[in-house]
Amino acid sequence: MLNYIAGIKTVSIAGPALTDLLAGNIDFLFTTPPLIQHIEAGTIKPLVVTSKNG
């Protein structure tokens, strides 16, 4: 759905995705659990955060 609405192509990757995100090798990452320590340190910038606790 994201690909269609945004007009982009994304691919699913395996392995050290967080390392690739921090190194700038990939542009974004859907992940769980939240990476709050990196958000608070300013090393990554969240675009969307979802939570069960609303």
Q: What is the value of pTM for the model shown?
A: 0.63
- Give the SS3 label for residue 5: helix
pLDDT at 28: 87
Question: 26: closest CA among 41, 42, 14?
Answer: 14
| Token representation of residue 52 | 């069960």
Determine contact, residues 37/15, Cβ cutoff 8 Å.
no
Q: What's the mean pLDDT in 40-54? A: 81
Band of residue 47 on the pLDDT scale cut at 50, 70, 90: confident
The pair of structure tokens assigned to 24 is 């700038």
DSSP per-residue codes, 6-46: HT-------S-HHHHHHHTSSS----SS--HHHHHHTSS--
pLDDT in tens, 2-42: 889 999 988 887 778 889 999 999 888 888 777 888 989 99
